[in-house]
Amino acid sequence: MLVDFLENAKFIIYNNLLSSDEANVLKKDICKLFTLGSIRSPFLGITNKSLDLNVSNTEKLESEFGNYIKSTTLVQQLLLGSTIRIKSCEQFLPAINQLKIRYLPKDCNYFSTVFITGSGFSGLPMHTDPHYSLLLQLAGKKRWNLWYESDTKSANCREPDIVITLEPGMALFIPPNLVHCAISSGHKCSSIHLTLACTKQD
């Protein structure tokens, strides 16, 4: 187990959390989802900071794209600079549950999300999350700016405390309520990373 619920937790960077084989297998399994032709709206989110687009709930997605979103539509969104979020991935990819067992506390609530961002784009603005997050880089590169701040306005007025570029196999632990943002930095290669998010059980 890597993630512990510590008070005043810090950002933690893991250089070789996944082997190249593990990262490649997960990447291929995720890419196979796109060969299905379409993915149901409840499992998707689409965000584009430049276009001021943030479609994260099922109702909005269905009104915009229909009950099933075609893979070609998702690829078009990537080319426009959007970040595609595939939610509840453990329902499609059983290997993710094994990662949960390996890295997260037994007594936690967890969910998984895959983030796919085209090269050179940043789909999500600077933000915080209410949960603990373990980010595993599977393909491409992603540069993360990290602040020991809980207020985005304050963080936006100064340089980040940590800047790190994740490559396949690397991982980043982000505690709750700390400001972060990222940009896909791989050369002509989309970034794919898996987030295992967890909270304490009541």
Structure confidence at residue 13 (pLDDT): 92
Q: How confident is the model at residue 46 (pLDDT cuts 50, 70, 90)?
A: confident
Q: CA 110, CA 195: separation in Å to the nearest integer?
A: 10
Check: CB of residue 173 under 8 Å from CB of residue 3: yes
Q: Phi/psi at 95 (nearest 5 deg)?
A: -60, -25
Q: Is the pLDDT of residue 57 over 60?
A: no
Q: How confident is the model at residue 37 (pLDDT cuts 50, 70, 90)?
A: low
Give the residue, 43 or 84, on which the prediction is more confident. Answer: 84
Check: CB of residue 30 under 8 Å from CB of residue 93: yes
Question: pTM for the whole thing?
Answer: 0.88
Give percent of the chain above pLDDT 70.
82
pLDDT by residue (tens digit) across 158-167? 999 999 999 9
Give bridge partners of residue 195 from the DSSP assignment.
113, 135
Mean pLDDT of 107-128: 87
Ramachandran bin of 194, using left for φ above 0, alpha for ψ from -120 to 50, beta for the remaining angles: beta
Give percent of the chain above pLDDT 90.
38
| Other C-beta atoms lying within 10 Å of the C-beta of residue 159 | 8
DSSP secondary structure string for all residues of the chain: ------TT---EEESSSS-HHHHHHHHHHHHHHHTTSEEEGGGEEEEETTTTEEE-SHHHHHHHH-SEEEHHHHHHHHHTTPEEEEE-GGGT-THHHHHHHHHS-SSEEEEEEEEEE-TT---S-SB--SSEEEEEEEES-EEEEE-S-S-HHHHTTS--SEEEEE-TT-EEEE-TT--EEEEE-STT--EEEEEEEEEE--
Q: Which residue has the tokens 């600077």?
A: 126
